[in-house]
Amino acid sequence: MYLNKIQKKKRIIIIILSAIVALAIMIGIGFMIYGGIRTRTLDRQNLYLTAHQITDQNQFEHLLATAGGRTIVEGNIQATKGITHTYISGEHFGIQVRQERYTMETYTVTHTDSNGNTRVETRTRWVWRYRGTTRNVTNDYTFMNQDLNANITFNNWQRINLNEYNVSGQRVRGNRLYSTNMNREGTIRSEISIIPMSFNGAMFIDIHPDKIISGIGGSEIRFHANRSVEDVLASGVADRTWIFFMFWIPLSIGAIVLVIFLKRRVWFG
């Protein structure tokens, strides 16, 4: 019995040491990952902090003429030729239509009686299934009264109240269009979102020779509607490394608990 007690104490010590080793490994791996994240964060912050910050049209024109490089610019963007849609009146900077189709589906339900006999019943149900989304944005626009040849994505899609528009050829109920009466097989219902013809905002761009602009590193340009230079800058320099620790700390604790559980199960049952 004395030897068993000694063995038990040794095993407990080994379990503790295993947990410490697991902790050390997780800390080491964590610091390596954090180092990479921190480096990328500092590089991103440097891109934003060293960029031009422009709200004046004359300054923007000067940077376009001189290939000014990285720039956070705030101003008005306006479509010179809008997008139209068959069913709604007026022109818009962009129109997005999301459609669903009224579809009959079959599914099975298994019943088991008191004697253990099973019976499979086939049932039907009607559901709205996603059909697709189309999105059209005009390429004819000016920003700070300058024609820009660039593809820009926007974040200010607004779902419209169809009762406020002149709608032709479709039935309107709530904020949706219906191709036929509701609850009929094959009916298509649509939700429409738009971008207004003119609005203010800011974007982070790279200005090249010949007034060509692009996103940083050749990425797409994102126009942040109703945002200022300060907003875009604050978002760009924000330190989000804490998100990594929110993930890594619980993972490390879980790894240590798993090591202890496995060791204890092998040796103590």
Residue 168's pLDDT is 62
- Do both 117 and 33 map to the same domain? no
- Do both 199 and 167 map to the same domain? yes
To the nearest whole percent, how much of the chain has pLDDT over 90? 26
Residue at 55 is within a domain:
no
How far apart are alpha carbons 204 and 216 in whole angstroms? Answer: 7
- Do both 253 and 223 map to the same domain? no
The amino acid at 224? H
For 215, what's the count of Cα atoms within 13 Å in the CB-facing half-sphere?
10
Residue 173: name the closest of 189, 184, 157, 159 by CA.
189
CA 195 to chain centre: 19
Q: Extract the tokens encoding 192.
A: 């429409």
Residue 77: name the closest of 229, 231, 235, 224 by CA.
224
How far apart are alpha carbons 67 and 69 in whole angstroms? Answer: 6
Q: Report residue 268's pLDDT band, with 50, 70 and 90 as the boundaries.
A: low
Query: Do 152 and 203 meet the contact criterion of CB atoms below 8 Å apart?
Result: yes
- Do both 83 and 168 map to the same domain? yes
Residue 167's pLDDT is 66
Q: Report residue 9's pLDDT band, with 50, 70 and 90 as the boundaries.
A: confident
CA 108 to chain centre: 36
Q: Which residue has the higher pLDDT, 11 or 77?
A: 77
At residue 1, does pLDDT exceed 60?
A: no
Residue at 28 is within a domain:
yes
Query: Which residues constitute the domain of residue 35?
Result: 2-47+243-268
- Do both 94 and 196 map to the same domain? yes
At residue 3, does pLDDT exceed 60?
A: no
Residue 159's pLDDT is 85
Residue 166's pLDDT is 64
Q: Which residue has the higher pLDDT, 175 or 106?
A: 106
How far apart are alpha carbons 196 and 168 in whole angstroms? Answer: 21
Residue at 202 is within a domain:
yes
At residue 15, does pLDDT exceed 60?
A: yes
Q: Extract the tokens encoding 39.
A: 């480096």
- Do both 89 and 204 map to the same domain? yes
Residue 55's pLDDT is 92
- Do both 27 and 110 map to the same domain? no
- Do both 214 and 260 map to the same domain? no
Residue at 43 is within a domain:
yes
Q: What is the mean pLDDT of residues 103-119?
A: 85
By three-state DSSP, how is residue 72 classified? strand
Integer CA distances (angstroms), 123 to 57, 105, 113, in order? 65, 8, 19
- Do both 150 and 26 map to the same domain? no
- Do both 27 and 146 map to the same domain? no
At residue 44, does pLDDT exceed 80?
A: yes
Residue at 17 is within a domain:
yes
- Do both 34 and 144 map to the same domain? no
Residue at 70 is within a domain:
no
Burial of 6 (C-beta count, 10 Å sphere; 0-12/13-18/19+): exposed
At residue 131, does pLDDT exceed 90?
A: yes
Q: How many distinct structural domains can be found in the chain? A: 2
Residue at 18 is within a domain:
yes
- Strands 141-143, 176-178: pairing kind: unpaired
- Do both 122 and 222 map to the same domain? yes
Q: What is the pLDDT of residues 52-81, one digit of tens each?
A: 999 999 999 888 888 888 999 999 999 988
Q: What is the mean pLDDT of residues 133-153?
A: 86
Residue at 71 is within a domain:
no
Q: What is the pLDDT of residues 208-248, one digit of tens each?
A: 887 788 888 777 888 999 999 999 999 888 888 888 889 88
Residue 177's pLDDT is 82
Please provide residue 164's backbone torsions phi and psi, each rounded to the nearest 5 degrees.
Answer: -95, 0
The amino acid at 211? K
